[in-house]
Amino acid sequence: MVDTKTAILDAAEHLFSSKGFDATSLRDINAIAQVNLAAVNYHFGSKDGLIQSVLERRIVPLNIERLRLLDQCEARLGNDALPLNEILEALIAPAVRLSRDPKAGGEDFMRLLGRLFIEPNPKVQTILEALFGETGRRFIKALKQSLPNLPEVELFWRVNFATGAMAHTLCDTSRLEFISGGVCDPNDAEGIIHRLVAFIAAGMREPVSATHTL
């Protein structure tokens, strides 16, 4: 038997991701966690405090692992610019592995995160900036060094596209399997990492072309 706080976090993660934050009541959570109605307010202060704890539990270790992989590359290569694919892999691999790890509530958590990323609510955005800001800046810096000839404006746009490709893949588990008629296996974490890194790297490396007219 897990402790009360963990039981609440597990239930909340699952329900927030599958029903959405607003559609999930504390009563739903407490019913699944087998705890009392007052337990959430006792342990987390409020429903807002609960979502903050749900996010921190996964994102803090995730970004530690990402930066560890990035540091490891840098240590190996000294002051040279890192190879693009290795930077992307340090960014992507920990997230994909987490999203496919059933022990970590994987796909549940990533879908929740995907929801929150398009949430205009300023309070949510503040939480996400606090959790991802520094890691994001570290990776953008590494990408800039790796692609010195790419103008900054193009780099930012491409990072944005890459974020979308990654986020959508992390969130979506069943649609691709359905659309592809079962050809694609959403549980093949290493295959996803390889394909996603290759796709993004190709887009990142593409020479900048002049705007063409229709």
Residues that bind DNA (CB under 7 A): 3-4, 24-28, 35-43, 46-48
Give the nearest distance from C-beta 182 to a copy of itself in angstroms: 10
Binder of a copy of itself out of 75, 79, 103, 118 (CB under 8 A): 118
| Nearest CB to DNA, comparing residues 41 and 53 | 41
| Ordered DSSP codes for 173-213 | SSHHHHHTTT-S-TT-HHHHHHHHHHHHHHHHHSPP-PPPP
Binder of a copy of itself out of 23, 31, 37, 130 (CB under 8 A): 23
If one asks whether residue 209 binds a copy of itself (CB under 8 A), the answer comes out as: yes
If one asks whether residue 176 binds a copy of itself (CB under 8 A), the answer comes out as: yes
Q: Are 96 and 113 in contact (CB under 8 A)?
A: no
- Rounded Cα distance, 24 and 16, in Å: 6
| Ordered DSSP codes for 44-108 | HSSHHHHHHHHHHHHHHHHHHHHHHHHHHHHHHHTTSPPPHHHHHHHHHHHHHHHHT-GGGTHHH
| Paired tokens of 35 | 């705890």
The site partner of 67 among DNA, a copy of itself, none (C-beta below 5 to 8 Å per kind) is none
- Residues of span 180-199 touching a copy of itself by CB under 8 A: 180, 183-184, 190-192, 194-196, 198-199
| Paired tokens of 37 | 């109605």
If one asks whether residue 83 binds a copy of itself (CB under 8 A), the answer comes out as: no
Binder of a copy of itself out of 20, 45, 49, 83 (CB under 8 A): 20
- Rounded Cα distance, 154 and 22, in Å: 37
The site partner of 141 among a copy of itself, DNA, none (C-beta below 5 to 8 Å per kind) is none
DSSP letter, residue 29: H
Residues that bind a copy of itself (CB under 8 A): 17-23, 89, 111, 114-115, 117-121, 125, 136, 140, 152-154, 156-169, 171-172, 175-176, 179-180, 183-184, 190-192, 194-196, 198-203, 205-206, 209, 211-212, 214
